């Protein structure tokens, strides 16, 4: 079976080239081309034809096809991409003054079952491999002909449920001779798989860990996020505290504000007490209503009140500016539309 070239690090390629008696510098040339996002061997114009043929016998370039792009009035671009096996994923490009940021998917679908999230409606289809995750960055960068400087693993899927490939992806995209995106410019968002957070902590990467909390009481979180029945709030926060201490990196907590469910004054106060001794930052996100779900976003005044209470307790909190809400940019929304269309 052919192997996906986009899954190969420079070091792994060099080993392969050495084993096949090909000069080492050729591996660097090929890695360069792959990092530039080429979609065919024939684009590698400094690689001799017989070497290209030899490579084609062992490798393929795991392209993804852009099957739809939607551009928001604020410049946000949402991409629907078709993978080799016909599966569809989505990723979102956000344009900021400080550079281009991309939100990538780590799985096709998701099995975590969060009640407000569109990605999980049809369950988990499969994991993406590292090459398919970096492929999203390459494809978008090529499409806009610009460098991507920030990555958030906040698209469809639970990154820590695909631990090995996600880690491989972060190392690949960070490689100084590859796309060279700094670890500090990568954010990994998780619903809170404690053993995997502990494993990640040992890697001591300089990435930002974002944890989807969304509630300050187990009863409320149980109802929103089934994962809470295995990994409840207190032990989760305990590991987050250790994570910040061990890595020296501030943890981000994501808190989606849902009108009447988790946005009251008492919830804000409870949250402030829970987070008291953690080096953290809270990102408040008025929930993005999903057609299939019945939640309503908290209004601005309620969000502001929630933020102020946290601040009064010395906890840094920001209300996330909504980007791309006119193009269904929340996780899984575009893909679901496509699936629904296809099944009609
Ligand atoms: N599985 C990971 C990452 C994917 S979702 C995680 O759970 O963190 C990225 C973020 O978007 C998470 O905080 C998730 O809870 C949130 N999210 C999902 N659906 C949303 C919606 N409809 N409105 C607002 N935030 C949502």
Q: Is the pLDDT of residue 343 over 50?
A: no
323 — pLDDT class (breaks 50, 70, 90): low
Last residue of a domain, one of 35, 60, 85: 60
Same domain assignment for residues 100 and 48: no
Per the structure, the count of domains in the chain is 2
* Catalytic member of 14, 90, 158, 254: 90
Q: Is 331 marked active-site?
A: yes
CA angle 253, 294, 126 (to 5 degrees): 65
pLDDT on residue 288 = 86
Nearest partner of 334 among 100, 117, 54, 118, judged by Cα: 118
Q: How far is the CA of 116 from the centre of ligand 1 (A)?
A: 8
Same domain assignment for residues 159 and 210: yes
Q: How far is the CA of 340 from the centre of ligand 1 (A)?
A: 21
Tens of pLDDT, residues 284-322: 999 988 766 778 999 999 999 999 999 999 999 999 876
Residues 6+ positions from 317 with CB-CB distance below 8 Å: 281, 282, 283, 284, 306, 307, 310, 311
How large a percentage of the chain has pLDDT more than 90?
A: 88
Kindly state the average pLDDT of the residues 181-204. 98
* Ligand 1 atom, smallest distance to 153 CA: 3
Task: At 23, list the tokens.
Answer: 């000069």
Query: CA of 40: how far to CAs of 43, 66, 88, 143, in Å?
Result: 6, 16, 21, 16
Q: Is the pLDDT of residue 338 over 80?
A: no
Specify whether the CB–CB gap between 200 and 209 falls below 8 A: yes
Same domain assignment for residues 157 and 12: no
Tens of pLDDT, residues 232-289: 999 999 999 999 999 999 999 999 999 999 999 999 999 999 999 999 999 999 998 8
Last residue of a domain, one of 13, 36, 60: 60
Residues 6+ positions from 118 with CB-CB distance below 8 Å: 290, 292, 293, 330, 331, 332, 333, 335, 336
Specify whether the CB–CB gap between 47 and 26 falls below 8 A: yes
How large a percentage of the chain has pLDDT more than 70?
A: 92
Tens of pLDDT, residues 199-248: 999 999 999 999 999 999 999 999 999 999 999 999 999 999 999 999 99
pLDDT on residue 344 = 38
Same domain assignment for residues 163 and 29: no
Domain that includes residue 56, residue range: 3-60
Same domain assignment for residues 45 and 182: no
Q: How far is the CA of 276 from the centre of ligand 1 (A)?
A: 24
* Catalytic member of 91, 114, 280, 331: 331
CATH of the domain at 144: 3.20.20.70
Burial of 284 (0-12, 13-18, 19+ CB in 10 A): buried
Nearest partner of 162 among 131, 118, 137, 141, judged by Cα: 131
Same domain assignment for residues 50 and 73: no
Q: How far is the CA of 57 from the centre of ligand 1 (A)?
A: 41
Same domain assignment for residues 56 and 167: no
- Kindly list the protein residues whose Cβ atom lies closer than 6 A to any atom of ligand 1: 114, 116-117, 154, 158, 189-191, 212, 254, 256, 285, 287-288, 290, 330-331
Same domain assignment for residues 117 and 166: yes
Tens of pLDDT, residues 121-141: 999 999 999 999 999 999 999
Same domain assignment for residues 30 and 141: no
Q: Is 114 marked active-site?
A: no
Same domain assignment for residues 51 and 148: no
Same domain assignment for residues 91 and 223: yes
Mean pLDDT of the chain: 94
pTM, entire model? 0.95
pLDDT on residue 294 = 79
74 — pLDDT class (breaks 50, 70, 90): confident
Q: Is the pLDDT of residue 333 over 70?
A: no
């Amino acid at each position: 079976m052919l192997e996906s070239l986009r899954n190969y690090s420079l070091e792994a390629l060099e080993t392969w080239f050495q084993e096949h008696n090909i000069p080492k510098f050729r591996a660097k040339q090929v890695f360069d081309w792959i990092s530039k996002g080429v979609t065919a061997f024939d684009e590698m114009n400094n690689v001799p034809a017989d070497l290209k043929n030899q490579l084609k016998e062992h490798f393929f370039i795991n392209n993804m096809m852009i099957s739809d792009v939607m551009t928001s009035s604020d410049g946000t671009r949402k991409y629907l991409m078709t993978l080799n096996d016909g599966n569809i994923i989505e990723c979102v490009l956000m344009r900021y003054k400080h550079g281009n940021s991309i939100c990538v998917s780590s799985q096709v679908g998701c099995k975590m079952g969060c009640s407000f999230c569109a990605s999980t409606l049809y369950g988990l289809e499969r994991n993406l491999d590292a090459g398919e995750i970096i492929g999203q960055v390459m494809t978008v960068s090529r499409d806009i002909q610009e460098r991507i400087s920030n990555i958030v693993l906040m698209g469809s899927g639970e990154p820590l449920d695909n631990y090995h490939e996600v880690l491989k992806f972060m190392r690949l995209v960070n490689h100084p001779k590859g796309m060279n995106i700094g670890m500090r410019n990568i954010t990994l968002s998780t619903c809170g798989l404690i053993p995997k957070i502990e494993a990640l902590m040992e890697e001591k990467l300089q990435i930002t860990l974002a944890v989807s909390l969304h509630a300050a009481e187990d009863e409320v979180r149980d109802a929103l996020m089934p994962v809470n029945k295995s990994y409840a709030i207190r032990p989760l926060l305990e590991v987050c505290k250790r994570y910040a201490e061990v890595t020296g990196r501030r943890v981000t907590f994501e808190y989606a504000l849902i009108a009447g469910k988790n946005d009251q004054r008492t919830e804000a106060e409870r949250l402030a007490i829970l987070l008291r001794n953690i080096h953290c930052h809270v990102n408040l996100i008025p929930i993005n209503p999903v057609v299939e779900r019945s939640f309503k976003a908290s209004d601005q005044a309620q969000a502001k009140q929630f933020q102020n209470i946290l601040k009064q307790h010395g906890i840094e909190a920001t209300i996330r500016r909504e980007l791309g809400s006119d193009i269904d940019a929340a996780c899984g929304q575009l893909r679901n539309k496509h699936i629904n269309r296809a099944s009609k």
